[in-house]
Amino acid sequence: MRSVQPDLQGLEISPGELRHLTGVDSTEIFRPTILHNPKQRLNFFVQELLLSLALTPIIVGLLHVFVILPFIGSSLVATLVTLIVVPIVIISVRWFWLKHNSPTGLCSLLDEVDRYNAVIKAIHINDQLGATGTTEILSERKKVIDALTLIKEDLVRALKTEKILRENRNFLITSPELLATNLRTVQTLQVNDRASEYGHLLNEALQIAVGVQQEMTKLQTKR
């Protein structure tokens, strides 16, 4: 398998970088969009089920020692009911906690990061297939890379701004640089064949840039 091309190295936003930019673990953020993807939806529910099963013995044991035995006595029925009810309560509380601690703006930006990383992965796959053999295609590829470089700047800036506003509820944005984006510059980039693979990727990059611009506008209007 071919290694990642030099111009792709460092372009992807890794989970570690994302954690540094947002101050939270993205896996602990509930995003409604993951429920639209069968694989991500299954992974989410399996993860939550495993967590509830891991916590159930501990909680049931504590309830048995401090509640059931002192007030009811040795009761198989009470223990069985507890084993059924506790996982349901854990999942319900966990669901409420995730929704309460998942800011809408952050969720939207994380979705854009996923789309952004997916475009980079698509370029890497094209590189592996040897789809950049001609000068024309190389030129189109470079335009997509240029667009992604600008979009990464916007995403990093947006994630930092969202973090500042989330951690400082009364903070007022006075610096226009915090809300600036590279959307207009991205819009100037064009490929010769819009129906080509890189034409589709550039269009996807443009949609991501528009999405980031919209989220930055929402951050501004919420203050």
**pLDDT tens digits, one per residue of 139-167:** 889 999 999 999 999 999 999 989 988 88
What is the rounded CA–CA span in Å between residue 213 and residue 222?
14
What is the rounded CA–CA span in Å between residue 7 and residue 192?
21
**pLDDT tens digits, one per residue of 51-66:** 999 999 999 999 988 8
**Structural domain boundaries of the chain?**
44-100, 103-221
Q: Does the CA dihedral 142-145-151-152 come out positive or negative? A: negative
**pLDDT tens digits, one per residue of 178-196:** 677 888 899 888 877 677 8
- The pTM assigned to this predicted structure is 0.78
What is the rounded CA–CA span in Å between residue 145 and residue 35?
30
